[in-house]
Amino acid sequence: MEETESLPHKYTLEELEDIKERLEENAKWLLEGIEEQKKLKTNDDPVLISAEMKARGVTLQNRVMGLLRRKTPKPPKTEKKEKAKETETSTAAEQAETTAPSEEHRGHEEL
C-alpha cells in the first residue's frame, strides 16, 4: 500500500531482515535445546535454562518494541499540492482585488 501511494516506509528492509534473523536464530536455538534436553536423564543438569530463555526473549522484544514505537514519517510534499496552494492564494488575491474596486464605486454612487 505504501508503495502505491509513494509514502515513506516506517521500517527499512534491513531492520525487518534483522528481526527475522533474530527470531529464526532464537527458534533454532530453542529447538536444538529441546532435542538435547530430551536426550538427558531426569537427574542430569538441564541444557535449557529459563534465565537464558528470558534474556533472549527480552532482547528480541526490546528490538521489536523499538521499531513499533517509531513514528510514521510524514509524506513528502508534492508539486501538485504546492501548485494548488499557489493557485488558491492567487485566486483569493484576485477576488479581493476585483471586489475592492467595485465597493469603492458603490460608495461613490450612494453619495
The C-alpha cell that represents 39 in the structure block: 536426550
- Say yes or no: 50 and 95 in one domain: no
- Say yes or no: 58 and 22 in one domain: yes
- Say yes or no: 42 and 64 in one domain: yes
- Say yes or no: 71 and 85 in one domain: no
How many CA atoms within 13 Å lie on the side-chain side of 75?
10
Decide: pTM greater than 0.85: no
- Say yes or no: 12 and 55 in one domain: yes
**For residues 111 and 56, what is the distance between their CA atoms, to the nearest angstrom?**
88
φ and ψ at 39, to 5 degrees? -75, -20
Count of residues in the chain = 111
- Say yes or no: 41 and 8 in one domain: yes
- Say yes or no: 63 and 90 in one domain: no
Three-state DSSP class for 73? Answer: coil
Question: How many structural domains does the chain have?
Answer: 2
- Say yes or no: 72 and 85 in one domain: no
- Say yes or no: 64 and 84 in one domain: no
- Say yes or no: 44 and 3 in one domain: yes
Task: List the domain range (segments joined by +) for residue 103.
Answer: 80-111
- pLDDT tens track, the chain, 111 positions: 445 556 667 888 899 999 999 999 999 999 999 999 999 998 999 998 999 999 999 999 999 999 888 888 777 776 665 566 666 666 555 665 555 555 555 555 555
